[in-house]
Amino acid sequence: MTKARRGESEFWRHRPVFVTGATGLLGSWLTEALLARGASVVALVRDLGPKSRLRQSGMESRVTVVRGAVEDGMVLERAINEYEIRTVFHLAAQTIVPIANRNPLSTFESNIRGAWNLLEACRRAPAVQQIVGASSDKAYGEQETLPYSESQPLQGRLPYDVSKSCADLIAQSYHRTFGTPVCVTRCGNFFGGGDLNFNRLVPGAIRSALHAEAPVIRSDGSLVRDYIYVRDGAEACLLLAEKMSADPAILGEAFNFSTEERSTVLQMTERILRLMGQGNLRPVVLNEARHEISKQYLSAAKARARLGWAPRYPLDAALTETIAWYREHFGRT
């Protein structure tokens, strides 16, 4: 389990916290970090996946589970009020880009309707003091200037990107109009133990390497992305909520969180193979990906300056921890 540093638990001890998307990759690691700090966690769970990290780790028995989906505003309002929630982490979303391209309506329902339902429920709940909403680097859409900074417009054009742009703007609207105490995180591609969506690059490449099979790359391998370890992502969410309590001037703002170490898809795949001692495997490049932006990466200068944030895990160390998780998961040495 994640251990909190000395002094980190004071803010969170016995604090009623609501986490949407708790069975997801970021949600499970954030829940673990909150439990380590003594928070009282209420988790919104749509599907009780038997292989989810929340269940497999035993954390599910340590939190209050509310069954429901973010598309149901009444469920959100009941949970937030009934458990007198003070801090909300809104992480629930449909996060897979190819699924969004195939089925945009369910993505819009989850990512856009879910955002306004959550914010409206919080607006009507007087105990809520901080809301951290998870946006994405995808919210920026395609830009001529890189790396993305928070001053750039949100201009998603593809279904997933549009859903994140909209949810991000809705959060800003609620703060501007109603004073809702919300901030937004914008991160790149999360990776880490517990991600069982093997169509994603990192878990897919690791699984292939563990079985001595060539990893498959959907694109031509040249797409440039910003990768962030999920444990750094969880720490970023916690830090932002704490700073929101200490400095109300940051309410309503968005913050990029990034290691600022970008990689192409092919470079990331080859890095994983090297760390796993499988450098002899050559990735299979399908060049089938369509409707994806060629280059996306973030500047974290604002988070460093305003929040004092820095990632704790170098990329190789983070990947090594991640590989170890999958070795154990698959029973491989």
Could you please report the per-residue DSSP string of 12-49?
Answer: HTT-EEEEETTTSHHHHHHHHHHHHTT-EEEEEESS--
Sorted by sequence, the CB contacts under 8 Å of residue 135 that are 6+ apart come out as: 164, 167, 168, 171, 184, 185, 186, 254
Based on DSSP, count helices (H) and strands (E) in the chain, helices before strands: 13, 12
Residue 313 is among the residues annotated as catalytic for this protein: no
Which SS3 state, helix, strand or coil, does residue 65 take?
A: strand
Beta strand 87-90 with 182-187 is unpaired
| Strands annotated E in the chain | 16-20, 40-45, 64-67, 87-90, 130-134, 182-187, 189-191, 216-217, 224-229, 254-257, 262-264, 284-285
Closest CA to 148 of 252, 256, 253, 306: 256
Residue 183's DSSP bridge partners are 132
Q: Rg of the Cα trace of the chain?
A: 19
CA distance 218 to 115: 30
Query: Residue 4 carries which DSSP code?
Result: P
CA distance 168 to 323: 32
> Which of the following is catalytic: 160, 174, 229, 297?
160
Residue found by looking up tokens 């497999």 in the block: 56
Active site residues: 160
